[in-house]
Structure formats: C-alpha cells, structure tokens
C-alpha cells in the first residue's frame, strides 16, 4: 500500500512524495519516478529539474506526533515546508506489524533458551 503524502507545484512541474507501508519512499516529478529509497526515519532526495537542483528532506516521526516533516529546497533555498500526519490505515499496519514481529521474536528467543 502506497500513500501520497506531499505535493508541490513549481511553475509547470508537479513534485510528489509517496511512502509505502514497507518504508519505500518515492519522489515523482510530473508523474515520473526520479527517486526511490528505503527509509524508516526519513531521507534526503536530490534531483534536478531543468537547471535547478532540488532537495526534498523527509523526517518521519513514528512515535509521539506520528507525522512526516517535509522541507523542499530549490538551489539550496527553502521553498516549502510542511508537516503531514500519517495515514490511519498505514499507522494501523505499522502497529500490527510491530506487534507480530515482537511476538515472533519473543517466541523464538523463548524456544532457543
């Protein structure tokens, strides 16, 4: 399951950020994939549009506020900053996955000891 969390329009260009339940971050420019990275706590995505250099920094807060912070820089100048809450379905999947992994590890270590 992939959810779009961020969209920014710069002149004629649409920049989008998507994140999957498995921590795969994707950045699209005008619908074309230009960056694809694994992240659990946030990453930095660098890309060019024409002669401009962009950097989209993500900072994921899984605990506490459960938000994603976005900072978009164009030619090293901040042009947009946004804070977005996690999708409720994605949060539920994270919690269930964490519980199942924790339970599985508990059973494994109990069996080994």
DSSP secondary structure of 14-33: EEEEEEETTSEEEEEETTEE
The verdict on residue 101 lying in a domain is no
The verdict on residue 109 lying in a domain is no
The verdict on residue 94 lying in a domain is no
d(C-alpha 27, C-alpha 4), whole Å: 10
- Binning pLDDT at 50, 70 and 90, where does residue 91 land? low
The verdict on residue 45 lying in a domain is yes
The verdict on residue 74 lying in a domain is yes
Given this model, what pLDDT does residue 67 score? 86
Q: What is the pTM of this model?
A: 0.74
39 three-state secondary structure: coil
- Binning pLDDT at 50, 70 and 90, where does residue 88 land? low
Domain count along the chain: 1
Q: Which domain holds residue 68?
A: 2-86
CATH of the domain at 32: 2.40.128.180
Q: What is the pLDDT of residues 18-65, one digit of tens each?
A: 988 778 899 999 999 999 999 878 899 999 999 999 999 999 887 777
The verdict on residue 16 lying in a domain is yes
């Amino acid at each position: 399951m992939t959810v779009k969390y961020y969209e920014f329009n710069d002149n004629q260009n649409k920049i989008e950020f998507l994140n999957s339940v498995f921590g795969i971050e994707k950045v699209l420019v005008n619908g074309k994939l230009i960056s694809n990275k694994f992240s659990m706590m946030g990453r930095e995505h660098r890309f060019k549009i024409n002669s401009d250099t962009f950097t989209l920094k993500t900072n994921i807060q899984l605990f506490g506020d459960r938000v994603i912070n976005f900072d978009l820089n164009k030619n090293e100048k901040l042009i947009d900053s946004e804070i977005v809450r996690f999708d409720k379905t994605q949060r539920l999947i994270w919690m269930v996955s964490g519980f199942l992994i924790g339970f599985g590890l508990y059973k494994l270590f109990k069996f080994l000891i």
